[in-house]
Amino acid sequence: MKAFFTQRNNFGHLLFWILLAVNIYPIFSVAYFYTGDGPAHLYNATLLNDLLFSENPFSNHFFEIRSLFIPNMGGHALLCFFLQFLDPAIAEKMVYALEILLLAVGFKSVLGLREDGNVWPLFLILPLLNNFCFYIGFQSFCLALGLALFVCRLLFDTRFGKSNRITLAFSLLLLFTAWCHIVPAIFVLIAWFSFQLDSLLKKKYVFRVKSLISIFPAIIFSGTFILQNSGQNSFETLDFLEPWKLLLSFQALIPYNLIDQRLAVLFYTALILIGLIFVFIYTNEYQNRATLLTALFLLALYFILPNNFSQGGYLSIRLLLGVFVFLAVFIAFNLSLKFTLVLAPLLIAINIAQIYQNKEEINYLSAYAEKVLDSTQHIPPNMTMVPLVYSSHWIHYNLGLYPSAFVSGANMDNYEASETEFPVRWKVNLAPDHRLGLFGSSRRPPFALEPYESETGERIDIVLRIGYEESMTSDSTTVKTNELLNSRFVKTAQGEKYQVWERKE
| Residue 166, number of CB atoms within 10 A of its CB | 18
Helix 88-111 / helix 74-82 crossing angle, nearest 10 deg: 130
pLDDT at residue 361 tops 70: yes
- Phi and psi, residue 441, nearest 5°: -130, 25
Higher pLDDT, 169 or 474: 169
Single-letter residue type at 134: F
pLDDT band at 311 (very low <50, low <70, confident <90, very high): very low
- What are the angstrom distances between the C-alpha of 273 and each of 14, 331, 343? 27, 9, 12
pLDDT band at 6 (very low <50, low <70, confident <90, very high): low
DSSP-H helix ranges across 305-430 = 315-334, 337-373
pLDDT digits (tens, 9 = 90+) for 18-55: 999 999 999 999 999 999 999 999 999 999 999 999 87
- Position 111 scores a pLDDT of 92
Largest Cα–Cα separation, the chain: 83
If 0-12 CB within 10 Å is exposed, 13-18 middle and 19+ buried, where does residue 342 land?
middle
pLDDT band at 1 (very low <50, low <70, confident <90, very high): very low
Q: Compute the distance between CA of residue 371 and CA of residue 428 in angstroms, rounded to an integer.
A: 35
294's CB contacts (< 8 A; 6+ apart) are 187, 190, 191, 194, 322, 326
- Position 391 scores a pLDDT of 92
For the CA atoms of 127, 133, 139, 143, the dihedral, rounded to the nearest 10 degrees, stands at -50
For residue 402, how many C-alpha atoms fall within 13 Å in the half-sphere facing its CB?
Answer: 30
pLDDT band at 482 (very low <50, low <70, confident <90, very high): very high
What mean pLDDT, rounded, does the chain reach?
90
Residues 349-364: what's their mean pLDDT?
Answer: 93
- Position 222 scores a pLDDT of 93
Residues 264-292: what's their mean pLDDT?
Answer: 87
Which residues are 411's β-sheet partners?
A: 385
pLDDT at residue 373 tops 90: yes
pLDDT band at 226 (very low <50, low <70, confident <90, very high): confident
Local structure of 388: helix, strand or coil: strand
Among 73, 14, 81, which Cα is nearest to 46's?
A: 81
Question: Taking the domains of the chain in order of start, what are their residue ranges?
Answer: 2-30+67-224+243-364, 381-503
Beta strands at 383-389 and 462-466: parallel, antiparallel or unpaired: parallel
| Residue 269, number of CB atoms within 10 A of its CB | 15
- Phi and psi, residue 503, nearest 5°: -65, 135
| Residue 460, number of CB atoms within 10 A of its CB | 22
Q: Compute the distance between CA of residue 458 and CA of residue 478 in angstroms, rounded to an integer.
A: 24
Q: Compute the distance between CA of residue 443 and CA of residue 445 in angstroms, rounded to an integer.
A: 5
Q: Contact, 326 vs 298, CB < 8 A?
A: yes
If 0-12 CB within 10 Å is exposed, 13-18 middle and 19+ buried, where does residue 246 land?
middle
Q: Compute the distance between CA of residue 156 and CA of residue 83 in angstroms, rounded to an integer.
A: 36
If 0-12 CB within 10 Å is exposed, 13-18 middle and 19+ buried, where does residue 25 land?
exposed
pLDDT at residue 150 tops 50: yes
pLDDT at residue 117 tops 60: yes
Residues 274-287: what's their mean pLDDT?
Answer: 85
| Residue 213, number of CB atoms within 10 A of its CB | 13
- Phi and psi, residue 493, nearest 5°: -160, 150
- What are the angstrom distances between the C-alpha of 96 and each of 33, 108, 338, 445? 9, 19, 34, 30
Q: Compute the distance between CA of residue 61 and CA of residue 15 in angstroms, rounded to an integer.
A: 52
Q: 95-99, 228-232, 324-328: lowest mean pLDDT where?
A: 228-232
pLDDT digits (tens, 9 = 90+) for 178-208: 999 999 999 999 999 999 999 888 877 777 8
238's CB contacts (< 8 A; 6+ apart) are 304, 305, 306
DSSP E strands: which ranges in 66-125? none
Percentage of the chain lying above the pLDDT 70 cut = 94
